[in-house]
Structures are given as C-alpha cells and as structure tokens.
C-alpha cells in the first residue's frame, strides 16, 4: 500500500510510508458487501467541527478544481493556501492545505454556513468518513476502504447505510480518484525505479501538475508540441481544458522521467 495513495482527511501526517501504514492498520476496513451508516447535514451538532486542525493533502486534481472554483492563478492559490511537501519514497510533490493561524486552526474555506468551496472541495473532504487506500495490481488499481471515525463526528449516529461504492458515487469522487490514481501510479513507478527524484524533477512536477496555467506558457515558450506526437485536437484541448492539460502534464512527466509513456510518444 502506498502512503501517497491514502486519501483520508485526518489529523496525522500521512506522507511517511511506515507511519501511514501504521495509521491504516489501526483503522477498521469496510470489506466488499459491507456497509457503514453515516449522514452529514447542516443540522448535525458537530457541523463544521471537522474543518479544522487538518493535515489535508491537495492532489493536482484538487488544486485544479479549487483554482477554477476561486478563479485564481495557480501561483496565487498555492502561495495563499498551500505548502509543499514531498513523498519520501518517490520525492514527488504533494501540496498541503494551510490551515488559518487562528486558535482553532480552521480551514480557510469554512464559513458558518459550511464549506465555501463545497462543490469543488478536495477529494479527502469528499471521501470522509472513508479513506481509500490504493495499490497497483495486475488488473490496475486495487482499493481498500477504511473507516475514519473521528471522536467528535456525530455523522455515525443516524443516516442510511452505504457501501463504499455508493458513498463515492454520492460524493462524486470518480474524476478525483481517476486523476489521483494516475499520480499514485507515477509515484509507484518512480519508487520502483529507485526514486526519490531530485529537487529539480520535483519542481518540474509542480509546474506540470500543479500550475497548469504556467505549464501552458511553458508549452508555448519551449514549443513542447514540436517534440511529441500530439493530435491537433488534443493540442487544442490541452491549451483550453484544465483536465486535458493535467493529463498531458502526467504524460509529460512520465515521458521525461522514463523516456516512454503509453499516452505520449516522442516525435521520431
């Protein structure tokens, strides 16, 4: 199980492989066919209590969604709301949401009425109370679901029963998981090839994955499209559509690191 694949909102740093595994092992799992009972509404007595004192990772897709939501340039967003760490095994960057410096260390996006960025809240917030651990398997990505039951959370007191699949569909996590799995696979490849990457490569990953607006400028300035086989249709999508740009970013980083990538070929 890769620490970087753990996608849970929680209070402990989850970046260190050994500590992450210990943390995961301490949590109950939700197995195939099992359900959990949960409901979170503005009427719960603990409303908003979970939105503070968090160690909350922001994946590239989280940042894409939040920048778009807030209409912010990536550099401004990252400077205002994030700090960067890197995964010890791969050296790849992971942004962490910076809590406010108030006594409660609240999330910068929480308001008395709830989450200000609710429709584009990070994947870890959507997943709660489930954590999704992923690892590479022969058939792609295999998942393990963990129940993260914070003591203050009253959401378990009532509500309907959910399978993990039902919960993830309800929380619209499909796009988040697809993109985050791509990052997990990239990290696993780096680790398997002897990682961690250098600081320079880490900086490249920040540009290509976390700063899509600047990455587009870089694509134009460095004429990246002259070096790879990309259809005109895909080029247009990359320059206008954030999801397409991020997909290209993953491909570009993989190609740069390994000299080959299934989704992107160098020009002969």
Contacts of 95 (CB under 8 A, 6+ apart): 57, 58, 59, 62, 63, 78, 82, 83, 84, 210
Residues near ligand SF4 (CB under 6 A): 40, 44, 46-51, 54, 107, 109-110, 115, 117, 121-122, 125, 128, 152-155
Helix count and strand count (H, E) for the chain: 10, 11
The nearest distance, CB 71 to ligand SF4, in angstroms, is 17
The nearest distance, CB 30 to ligand SF4, in angstroms, is 16
Whole-number Å distance between alpha carbons of 28 and 187: 26
Q: Are 176 and 62 in contact (CB under 8 A)?
A: yes
- Between residues 173 and 188, which has the closer beta carbon with respect to ligand SF4? 173
The nearest distance, CB 57 to ligand SF4, in angstroms, is 12
- Between residues 33 and 151, which has the closer beta carbon with respect to ligand SF4? 151
- Between residues 94 and 201, which has the closer beta carbon with respect to ligand SF4? 94
The nearest distance, CB 93 to ligand SF4, in angstroms, is 20
- Between residues 54 and 63, which has the closer beta carbon with respect to ligand SF4? 54
CA 86, chain centre distance (Å): 13
Q: Are 209 and 250 in contact (CB under 8 A)?
A: yes
Classify residue 88 as exposed, middle or buried by CB count within 10 Å of its CB (0-12, 13-18, 19+).
middle
- Between residues 111 and 135, which has the closer beta carbon with respect to ligand SF4? 111
The nearest distance, CB 195 to ligand SF4, in angstroms, is 30
């Amino acid at each position: 199980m890769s620490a970087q694949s753990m996608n849970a909102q929680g209070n402990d740093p989850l970046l260190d492989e050994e500590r992450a595994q210990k943390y995961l092992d301490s949590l109950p799992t939700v197995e195939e066919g099992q359900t959990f009972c949960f409901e979170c509404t503005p009427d719960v007595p603990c409303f908003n209590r979970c939105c503070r004192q968090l160690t909350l990772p922001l994946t590239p897709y989280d940042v894409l969604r939040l920048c778009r939501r807030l209409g912010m340039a990536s550099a401004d967003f990252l400077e205002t709301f994030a700090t960067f760490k890197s995964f010890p095994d791969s050296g790849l960057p992971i942004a962490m949401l910076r809590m406010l410096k108030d006594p409660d260390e609240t999330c910068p996006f929480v308001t008395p009425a709830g989450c200000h960025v609710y429709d584009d809240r990070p994947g870890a917030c959507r997943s709660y109370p489930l954590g999704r651990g992923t690892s590479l398997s022969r058939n792609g990505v295999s998942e393990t679901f963990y129940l993260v039951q914070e003591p203050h959370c009253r959401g378990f007191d009532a509500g309907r029963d959910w399978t993990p699949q039902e919960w993830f569909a309800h929380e619209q996590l499909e796009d988040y998981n697809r993109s985050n799995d791509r990052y997990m696979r990239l990290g696993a490849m780096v680790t398997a090839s002897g990682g961690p990457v250098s600081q320079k490569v880490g900086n490249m990953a920040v540009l290509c994955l976390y700063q899509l607006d600047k990455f587009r400028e870089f694509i134009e300035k460095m004429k990246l499209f002259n070096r790879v086989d990309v259809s005109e249709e895909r080029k247009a999508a990359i320059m206008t559509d954030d999801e397409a740009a991020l997909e290209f970013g993953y491909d570009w980083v993989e190609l740069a690191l390994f000299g080959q990538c299934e989704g992107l070929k160098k020009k002969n």
